[in-house]
């Protein structure tokens, strides 16, 4: 069994599949075998067609080692629309396998037995800026939310975070740290996957930068940009696009066509007291007009430590818009084209406008306004402020590219398990839902391998 990518899903899968000592698992990672993220050299440098930077983790642990460490699940209805085997009651046990919730682990909708520690900053320990954000949001009508992962929760409060004493509880630090001493698990870092070998409808191997790895079972967990790019280079994707690049079509599937991401508007704010710290540690969630679930998110934040200014953001967590990903060429060294399609659906523009208006209300409410030097930054048009929240999904979607067990349609021995298989993006930062997918798929793979 070869697992490609060691991130939020791949690290989980490699650890779970190697629990059976009779099964040999090879985990391939393009980045270094490091537990310390040191900057740009450990990021994939994707860009959007509009020129935006789209960083993704290129290190053991992938994006779980480089993200903001927000541990949200989303709403129950997010998963009820995914298909057979993915309703919220069915995926909840997989969420519980992940977490060791240090605050609510005793509650029936939480666990204290998983490998990933989750905690929320106590209100009394919030930075002055974060505390002011909570007070400001409550002053304009947002209820306090002690646990954003409680079913039906909405409001403002400390975010659940998989960060312990300043250390990201990534899959490298948690799942793989416990598994890597197993003799049947091999971790091979600094290994770029070029394409897959498919023979007579069966996966036969993986072409890497320095040779060929024979394998009759492969799981792609290279992320919502990496996994579709590998499939496309392997001849799995829209036939018209592949033919234009001189790639023989093995399976004509809509790879890359369902790209979906959270849209974000953010503003940079200066403060009167430059000694204040800005940390990403609180969020507010609420429902847009007509939405049955909290589909908008507000936050303030900044670098883990250091000087201000800071960022205030508003995100649309249930967008309708879709983009797409396609190859520039068959060269694995060349990044794919990525059109995020943000706000291409007019309804998304309306809802994100609601979020921006609410962010302005919170920022200009007295508790937060008293700290800010320049509150009049909301005069810019929405289009000038919108960007990605860096939660790409849907490029190898269930029902279109893979089946409900994440097997690639028409190809034996090949699966995709990461955020790319999400047919609808959840109303949550996507790290934990991606880990859940791996926990859900691992027992299915164990039965057939």
Dihedral of the alpha carbons of 399, 323, 89, 10, in degrees to the nearest 10? 80
Half-sphere exposure of 443 (CA within 13 A, CB side): 8
Distance in angstroms (rounded) separating the CA atoms of residues 229 and 392: 14
Report the candidate in 407, 18, 8 with the shortest Cα–Cα distance to residue 221: 8
What are the start-end ranges of the E strands in 320-385? 324-326, 337-339
- In the numeric block, the tokens 């993220």 are attached to 37
Report the candidate in 259, 226, 261 with the shortest Cα–Cα distance to residue 430: 261
Residue 193 is labelled as binding a ligand = yes
- In DSSP terms, 195 is beta-bridged to 207
Q: Is the dihedral of CA 320, 81, 221, 70 positive or negative?
A: positive
Report the candidate in 195, 233, 189 with the shortest Cα–Cα distance to residue 213: 195
171 Ramachandran zone, left/alpha/beta (phi>0; psi -120 to 50)? alpha
Q: Give the three-class secondary structure for 54.
A: strand
Distance in angstroms (rounded) separating the CA atoms of residues 71 and 102: 13
Report the candidate in 425, 314, 392 with the shortest Cα–Cα distance to residue 46: 392
How close are the terminal C-alpha atoms of the chain, in Å? 8
Which string of DSSP letters, residue by residue, matches 289-327?
A: TT-SS--EEEEEE--SSS---EEEEEEESS----BEEE-
What are the start-end ranges of the E strands in 166-221? 167-168, 185-188, 193-199, 202-208, 211-214, 218-220
Distance in angstroms (rounded) separating the CA atoms of residues 235 and 193: 14
Q: Give the three-class secondary structure for 437.
A: helix
- In DSSP terms, 168 is beta-bridged to 163
List the binding residues for substrate.
389
List the binding residues.
193, 389
List the binding residues for FAD.
193
């Amino acid at each position: 069994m070869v697992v490609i990518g060691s991130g939020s899903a791949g690290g989980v899968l490699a650890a779970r599949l190697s629990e059976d000592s009779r099964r040999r698992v090879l985990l391939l990672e393009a980045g270094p075998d490091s537990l310390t993220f040191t900057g740009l050299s450990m990021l994939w440098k994707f860009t959007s067609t509009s020129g935006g930077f789209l960083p993704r983790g290129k290190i053991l642990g992938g994006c779980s080692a480089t993200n903001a460490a927000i541990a949200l699940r989303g709403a129950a209805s997010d998963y009820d629309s995914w298909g057979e085997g993915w309703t919220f009651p069915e995926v909840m046990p997989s969420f519980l396998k992940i977490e060791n919730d240090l605050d609510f682990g005793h509650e029936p909708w939480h666990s204290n037995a998983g490998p990933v520690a989750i905690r929320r900053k106590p209100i009394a320990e919030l930075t002055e800026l974060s505390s002011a954000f909570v007070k400001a949001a409550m002053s304009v009508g947002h209820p306090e939310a002690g646990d954003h992962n409680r079913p039906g929760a909405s409001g403002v409060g400390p975010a659940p975070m998989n960060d312990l004493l300043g250390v990201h509880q990534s899959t490298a630090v948690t799942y793989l740290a416990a598994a890597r001493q197993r003799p049947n698990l091999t971790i091979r870092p600094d290994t770029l996957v070029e394409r897959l070998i498919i023979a007579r409808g069966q996966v036969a191997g993986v072409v890497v930068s320095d040779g060929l790895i024979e394998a009759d079972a492969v799981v792609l967990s290279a992320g919502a940009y990496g996994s579709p790019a590998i499939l496309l280079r392997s001849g799995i994707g829209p036939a018209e696009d592949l033919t234009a690049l001189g790639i023989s079509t093995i399976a004509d599937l809509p790879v890359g066509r369902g790209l979906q991401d959270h849209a974000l508007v953010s503003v940079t704010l200066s403060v009167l007291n430059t000694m204040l710290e800005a940390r990403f540690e609180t969020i507010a969630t609420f429902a847009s007009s007509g939405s049955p679930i909290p589909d908008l998110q507000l936050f303030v934040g900044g670098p883990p430590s250091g000087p201000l200014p800071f960022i205030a953001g508003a995100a649309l967590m249930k967008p309708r818009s879709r983009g797409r990903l396609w190859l520039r060429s068959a060269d694995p060294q060349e990044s794919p084209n990525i059109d995020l399609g943000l706000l291409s659906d007019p309804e998304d523009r309306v809802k994100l406008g609601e979020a921006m208006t609410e962010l302005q209300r919170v920022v200009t409410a007295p508790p937060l306004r008293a700290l800010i030097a320049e509150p009049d930054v909301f005069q810019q048009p929405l289009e000038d402020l919108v960007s990605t929240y860096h939660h790409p999904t849907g490029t190898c979607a269930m029902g279109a590219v893979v089946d409900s067990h994440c097997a690639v349609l028409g190809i034996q021995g090949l699966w995709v398990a990461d955020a790319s298989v999400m047919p609808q993006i959840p109303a949550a930062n996507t790290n934990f839902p991606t880990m859940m997918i791996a926990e859900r798929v691992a027992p299915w793979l164990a039965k057939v391998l």
